[in-house]
Amino acid sequence: MNDYLIRQYEQVKADVAAAAVKAGRRPGDVRLIAVSKTFPAADIAAVYDCGQRLFGESKLQELEPKTAALPADIEWHLIGHLQSNKAAKAVACASCIHSVDSVKLLERLERLAGEVGRRVDILLEFNLSGESSKFGAGDADAMALAQAAACCRNLRWRGLMTMAPLDADEMGLHRVFGGLRRLRDRMAAAFGVELPELSMGMSGDYHVAIAEGATLVRIGTAIFGKRDYMK
Ligand SMILES: *Cc1c(COP(=O)(O)O)cnc(C)c1O
């Protein structure tokens, strides 16, 4: 049973590296996040035994027990939506939070990280419309959020994250992922910070994301198989 999972994992890992090379980048420039949501600790352990140390989960109620059950040298990234009232748990469990999308959440995380003396990496999540490569309507909000992130001392703002619309075609994917890269470049220049990370690309669209500069790809289905949310 695990043979299949291991084969899938090795294939995805090799394919991510190949996509990086094809894009004129180094294989090490793109890190694979194995998105293990809904899958049991035994599956994660099998992939861990192949050398994978970076895993992603969407929900705290799943992340928390998994961090307790699995080896301590796993780097856990929280990739799903986070409610402010669960921020303390997120700070305790995750080394990087990809889904910071409001000043309120950001300030709460900053305060909590300070209280427990823990430095936590964060990414700001933006929804870029496939219609336009420009960041339109939410521009003022986006810059206010970026400004607040640049001022944090306990949180380390590392970059941006996005999810492409499900119905985007290849051109639309290039617009969304390229748009996130350009927004990152603008923010890095505007606030004088280094923002090395671009978290973009999932099972169905990671090739385009890597071509557009992704440094973190979040891949679940292609490694673990289809998710059964009824389990
Ligand atoms: C579930 C999830 C993924 C992984 O998606 P797959 O299509 O299974 O690879 C990536 N990013 C986020 C935010 C997710 O919630």
Whether residue 130 is contained in a domain is answered as yes
Question: In angstroms, what CA-CA distances link 4 with 7, 10, 92, 151, 159?
Answer: 5, 10, 33, 46, 34
161 CA closest ligand 1 atom index: 13
Ligand 1 shell residues, CB under 6 Å: 35, 37, 58, 79-80, 163, 202-204, 218-222
Domain hosting 164: range is: 2-224
Q: How far is the CA of 118 from the centre of ligand 1 (A)?
A: 27
**pTM more than 0.85:** yes
Whether residue 134 is contained in a domain is answered as yes
Model confidence over 203-215: pLDDT tens digits?
999 999 999 999 9
Q: How far is the CA of 192 from the centre of ligand 1 (A)?
A: 31
Q: How far is the CA of 39 from the centre of ligand 1 (A)?
A: 13
Whether residue 230 is contained in a domain is answered as no
CATH number of the domain residue 166 falls in: 3.20.20.10
- Domain count for the chain, please give it: 1
Q: Whose structure tokens read 């059950």? A: 69
The HSE-up count of residue 142 (CA atoms within 13 Å, CB side) is 19
Whether residue 229 is contained in a domain is answered as no
Model confidence over 155-178: pLDDT tens digits?
999 999 999 998 899 999 999 999
Whether residue 231 is contained in a domain is answered as no
